[in-house]
Structure 1
């Protein structure tokens, strides 16, 4: 089984996901080797701003196989379970179902060739229809449980319909595959009739107002996430230390300024215009260099320290599920770990260009206590948006010329960049495991992500790339 999954998300983002069990202690490092020609360093990219705007994480309970939580034999006798247990299993199924259909539909929309798009769309619609059917076979008969089931059923029906329609609308046009298009549209109509005619989940006024139906479904999604998506409490670290460094930097600057003022007063007799101008220059230089000195001192003190801490809680019981520390910083060449540097030495000679290294690290300690009933693992998904990286890239303006039978033609070519990415995974006291990827991108999208071979003396980890 793959320990880490790597996926391209949208045009310019990469997602990493992995699962952890109770008692796990895991650190996950990512080293982005950015070519110097991309003009990305600590002066052009603020790490803290990028963390809050460009790195999106989601942590939730996880169960293998979408159908497992609800449709297997453990739900054969619903009346033997408590209402809370039923709701937890139901939410887990509905949440993972929604995430899966969203992910699969997003990947499908990236296919531009009709011969690839329509067979995949047909498979997706069949899977959706089958899972919805299995889900509805387990509808509870007791009134106190029905409302939870109806909320999930209403949302899944609407969300699946929306994802299929959106995928079909953005797909390539093909008269050849009109039968598949009609089949998907028929499924969407069937789901619409199921919600509005058979079950009457939504009122007429809600159905006719796009804003109202959208907001209602957002509310239902939040209800489904209850108990599944973990509550996150993020706290910046080193706030007190930063204040101390600021005070120390100010004190050092004032010490130099005071010495210069005393020297100036001794040099000039009395209060003269020259003395006033000299004092103005001294105070001006103080304002110019005070921030620079503070920033240099803070970067030195902060180097190698975690920037944030995060506590993950169960939204139902408020119990602590895991604790995390997060690092994000630009590294100096001498700070790059030996094995990571060794991996990068094995690049092809033409790819050995000057780089800037951005390091992301997350260390997780999962509680030893059992999770809520039905949950055996938690899943972490971290999405890195590469738009801030692409912002500095040049657009392709070059042309390639061809000659054929005395006629000269040309075609425009795009400027592509390649960044290297080294991933390091370490579980407890086990040896660290490594992987290297090449991400080829231009200003508007990621062209491809390929895994590269590691040196023989480096231990690789199991990876799954979609």
Structure 2
């Protein structure tokens, strides 16, 4: 598995994910090169607003082999475990099973070629059936453990059914693969019968009301996340320093305003309409320049400093698992690392256009203490929504004309933009590694994400 993976998540979002072990120290930098013609810079896009509105992360425990028959090995010695250990193993598998199916289904829905889509869908259906069968083969008989198993089984059955039906409904239509469609529908029907008729996990009222069944499944998902998804404590940095900057700027502006008022009083010895108007103008300029001056000074002081800190805790023991610092800011050309500049210099001449660089950095320090039994790694997944970028783009529907045997025809074309993404990874005191991606998008969706070659002297992020 690659150290860092970058791929499309939704129509207008990309996701990067990576895993870390006990004691790891990792700094990950992402440089988004936004073409100037997109009209995105520090004046049109507020970094803090973008962070809270468009960057969503998920940190959880992780183990490899999601698509391998590991259930037997995980649950073979149930009687030798305590209830807490059983629940931790159960939740870890159920949660990662759900995440894996969701990830595979999303990737499958991006395929538009029927000859590629349906064989992949058939493979996904077989995988779901095998994993569910093996999972249920190890159902505990003890009542104290069975309740936890039934919650996970109920949710996985419903979630797999929903993902398969959604994927099939969004897939390309093709009569040639009707057999695959029928097989997937048959699997979904059997899961419904298993869940509602054989096991009777949900009441009649619940399954007949879409809102009630959806809310129940959300609750079950939160239950299986217990002990797996890490609790996050996010804190904004520099709050006190920002107040100091505001106070200093206010003091400076008041000194200037007071000086101007005293001089105005020297010119106008008595209270006149002219003096009142001049004082009013002075106070008006104070309100205008105070905010601008504060923003300029704050950006100067904040540049290069982390903006947020995050503590990750185990939801069961409340033990600190990792600490993180997060940066997000627009960078100037002279501040860019030499290796990143060299990577971008390798572009074709027609692609060397002016760009604004949005820099995201996350520095993580994982605890030196061992995780709970069964956990060897933590996984971080971060989604970047490009929707705030897309609203600045032109719709750009144009036409290309051509002549064929005296007849003139035209093809409609769309306005596309290319964002270059450079990923920089530094682990502890090891070598710094790099990767570059090209994100092609229009106003409504991401067209493709491709990885580009790097100069020979630049180390590439490996496995």
Instruction: Please give the range of the TM-score, normalised by the shorter of the 2 chains.
Output: over 0.9
CA distance in 2, matches of 1:374, 1:263: 76
Deviations 1:109-133 (A, max 9, x none): 1222221111111111000000000
Deviations 1:428-447 (A, max 9, x none): 01111111111111111111
| 3-state DSSP of counterpart to 1:156 | helix
CA distance in 1, matches of 2:97, 2:75: 17
1:184-195 → structure 2 map (5 Å cutoff):
184-195=184-195
Deviations 1:71-106 (A, max 9, x none): 233532211101101100000100011011111111
Report how far residue 189 of structure 1 moved. 0.8
CA distance in 2, matches of 1:400, 1:184: 42
Deviations 1:369-402 (A, max 9, x none): 0001100000000111111111111112321111
Deviates more, 1:331-340 or 1:61-70: 61-70
CA distance in 2, matches of 1:33, 1:67: 35
The verdict on how the C-alpha distance between 1:212 and 1:63 changes in structure 2, with shifts beyond 3 A counting, is same
Report how far residue 37 of structure 1 moved. 0.2
Could you tell me which residue of structure 2 aligns to residue 320 of structure 1? 320
Cα contact 1:390–1:444 (8 A) shared by 2: yes
Could you tell me which residue of structure 2 aligns to residue 418 of structure 1? 418
Cα contact 2:74–2:89 (8 A) shared by 1: no
CA distance in 2, matches of 1:442, 1:73: 47
1:79-228 → structure 2 map (5 Å cutoff):
79-228=79-228
Q: TM-score, normalised by structure 1?
A: 0.98
Could you tell me which residue of structure 2 aligns to residue 349 of structure 1? 349
Cα contact 1:21–1:378 (8 A) shared by 2: yes
CA distance in 2, matches of 1:114, 1:370: 47
Q: TM-score, normalised by structure 2?
A: 0.98
Report how far residue 455 of structure 1 moved. 1.5
Cα contact 1:109–1:167 (8 A) shared by 2: yes
Could you tell me which residue of structure 2 aligns to residue 52 of structure 1? 52
CA distance in 2, matches of 1:25, 1:460: 19
The verdict on how the C-alpha distance between 1:271 and 1:211 changes in structure 2, with shifts beyond 3 A counting, is same
Aligned CA RMSD, in angstroms, stands at: 1.2
Could you tell me which residue of structure 1 aligns to residue 18 of structure 2? 18
1:221-240 → structure 2 map (5 Å cutoff):
221-240=221-240
Could you tell me which residue of structure 2 aligns to residue 295 of structure 1? 295
Cα contact 2:236–2:308 (8 A) shared by 1: yes
Cα contact 1:98–1:159 (8 A) shared by 2: yes
CA distance in 2, matches of 1:31, 1:210: 42
Cα contact 2:161–2:191 (8 A) shared by 1: yes
| 3-state DSSP of counterpart to 1:15 | strand
Cα contact 2:69–2:131 (8 A) shared by 1: no
Residues 1:385 and 2:385 aligned together: yes
CA distance in 2, matches of 1:268, 1:434: 67
Deviates more, 1:229-238 or 1:72-81: 72-81
Could you tell me which residue of structure 2 aligns to residue 241 of structure 1? 241
Could you tell me which residue of structure 2 aligns to residue 455 of structure 1? 455
CA distance in 2, matches of 1:382, 1:239: 25
Report how far residue 309 of structure 1 moved. 0.2
- The count of corresponding residues between Structure 1 and Structure 2 is 463
Cα contact 2:15–2:381 (8 A) shared by 1: yes
Cα contact 2:72–2:134 (8 A) shared by 1: no
| 3-state DSSP of counterpart to 1:72 | helix
Could you tell me which residue of structure 2 aligns to residue 252 of structure 1? 252
Cα contact 2:394–2:443 (8 A) shared by 1: yes
Cα contact 1:18–1:379 (8 A) shared by 2: yes
The verdict on how the C-alpha distance between 1:69 and 1:42 changes in structure 2, with shifts beyond 3 A counting, is farther
Q: Which runs of 4+ in 1 moved over 6 A?
A: none
Structure 2 unaligned blocks of 5 or more: none
| 3-state DSSP of counterpart to 1:444 | coil
Report how far residue 69 of structure 1 moved. 9.3
Structure 1 unaligned blocks of 5 or more: none
Deviates more, 1:355-364 or 1:433-442: 433-442
CA distance in 2, matches of 1:339, 1:81: 51
Cα contact 1:69–1:93 (8 A) shared by 2: no
Could you tell me which residue of structure 1 aligns to residue 272 of structure 2? 272
